[in-house]
Amino acid sequence: MTPAPSLVDSHGRVLRDLRVSLTDRCNFRCLYCLPETEAAQNFYRGRWANLPESKPIAWQWQPRTNILSFEEIERVVRLAVGLGIQKIRLTGGEPLLRRNVEQLVARIAALPGIEDLALTTNGFLFPEKARALSAAGLRRVSFSLDSLDQANFQKITGRNGLDEVLTSIRLAQDLGMNPVKVNAVIIRGINDHELEALAGFAREQDLAMRFIEFMPLDSARAWLKELVVPGREILQRLQASHSLRPAPRRNPAETAQRWVFEDGRGELGLISPVSEPFCGHCNRLRLTADGKIRTCLFSVVEHDLRSRLRGGASDEDLADYLRSVVWQKEERHHIGEPDFVSPERSMSCIGG
């Protein structure tokens, strides 16, 4: 039976989806998140005579004492599910950097009321953990794959890891995880020339590929709207190269506009938060690795749950706090508008 909608914001949206970041650390340095590599700097210098004057996000890894324990995460998830949350996605940083992550998966999978437990990873460490994660109860996984070209993959991610990611995708399929999703952030001048190849890969491998617009969440604050390839442009190119038909929406809060290949193998999705925001149906809440609640990916305010978890708050107190935080959820983001302010922390620190 569906729980009563206890997490409702002031705009009438019922929250059902909780993203839980397990760590702010990552073993990749992607252009769109932590662009620290020389290749990243060269790319941005090639776009401007002078790099943007705005200061880079002042970030550093959180002290380990600030990171929530498995017991604390399990408690928050249990309370959230009791308030109507149905979907849990484990993210990072890179969540597989968290030691014994399969133990947390098992604890969460055992909680009644969770309809969907998934994980998002760059895939580099997945072969080491895959079977343990599957045995613990993980049923769904999403991988980041921004390029099928070795050199371009390394340019984008700062790591020579394409073979490991491709191995991870095949392994997840062999283990029966379904659907296996693959995310590609498309940046003009970097990997937009690979759109057709990535779509073909999805069909060949019978995958659900998601093309995501470049968002202003990089630690260098180097994002420019001119680097965004709009979802409609992506779709026009894919329709010109592949026979596609629209897939029915499964629920209003679905972030991707989905398309399937005519022969039934594979699926494509367009996630267009910049050019076609879907804020009106957003049902997501985020818990950062250091115990802050974020009501929007682009929130400029974070709500401190950790101090309450460690300060002796009862379950009832915490549930009341979660309700009050959700009530404050923003109506929408303001990307591309004159008053837009980037979050103080980058995507790695916020959690996907």
3-state class (DSSP) for residue 151: helix
Lowest mean pLDDT among 13-27, 32-46, 74-88: 32-46
Domains and CATH numbers, the chain: 17-350 (3.20.20.70)
Average the pLDDT over 260-285 and give the result: 88
Q: What is the pLDDT of residue 226?
A: 87
Q: What pLDDT is stored for residue 40 in this prediction?
A: 63
pTM: 0.90
Question: Alpha-carbon distance 95 to 122, whole Å?
Answer: 9
What is the pLDDT, as a whole number, of residue 350?
A: 74
pLDDT tens figures, 16-32 = 999 999 999 999 988 88
**Cα angle, residue 227 at apex, residues 221 and 233 outer, rounded to 5°:** 145
Looking at residue 242, its amino acid is H
On average, the pLDDT of the chain sits at: 88
Residue 343 reports pLDDT greater than 90: no
Tell me whether the omega of the peptide bond preceding residue 179 falls within 30 degrees of 0, making it cis: yes
Given CA atoms 305, 307, 310, 314 in this order, what sign does their dihedral have?
A: negative
**Cis omega (within 30 of 0) for bond into 189:** no
Arithmetic mean of pLDDT, 296-315: 93
pLDDT digits (tens, 9 = 90+) for 187-235: 999 999 999 999 999 999 999 999 999 987 665 566 778 899 999 999 9
Q: What is the pLDDT, as a whole number, of residue 76?
A: 98
The residues pairing with 181 across neighbouring beta strands, listed in sequence order, are 142, 208
**Span 119-143, average pLDDT:** 97
Q: What pLDDT is recorded for position 50?
A: 47
Q: Which two tokens stand for residue 15?
A: 């929250």
pLDDT for 317 beyond 60: yes
Identify whether the C-beta of residue 26 lies closer than 8 Å to the C-beta of residue 349.
no
Please state, for a pLDDT cut of 90, what percent of the chain lies above it: 68
Average pLDDT of the segment spanning 62-76: 95
* pLDDT for residue 56 is more than 80: no
pLDDT at 278 over 80: no
User: pLDDT at residue 251 above 70?
Assistant: yes
Owner of token pair 């849990």? 88
| pLDDT band, residue 58 (cuts 50/70/90) | very low
Report which of 131, 77, 139 is spatially closest to residue 104, judged by C-alpha positions: 77
Q: What is the pLDDT of residue 32?
A: 82
Tokens for 72? Answer: 């604390």
Which whole number is the average pLDDT over 73-80?
98
Given a contact cutoff of 8 angstroms between Cβ atoms, the answer to whether 195 and 201 are in contact is: no
What angle, rounded to 10 degrees, do the helices at 101-109 and 126-136 form? 20
Collapse the DSSP code of 130 into the 3-class scheme (helix H, G, I; strand E, B; otherwise coil) and give the result: helix
pLDDT value at position 49? Answer: 42
Full DSSP string of 228-239: B--HHHHHHHHH
Give per-residue burial for 238-258: e unless 16+ CB within 10 Å, then b.
beeebebeeeeeeeebebbbb
| Phi (first) and psi of residue 3, to 5 degrees | -60, 155
Give the integer Cα–Cα distance in Å for 261 and 21.
Answer: 33
**Rounded CA gap, 13 and 298, in Å?**
17
Residue-level pLDDT at 223? 73
Alpha-carbon gap, residue 277 to 271, rounded angstroms? 9
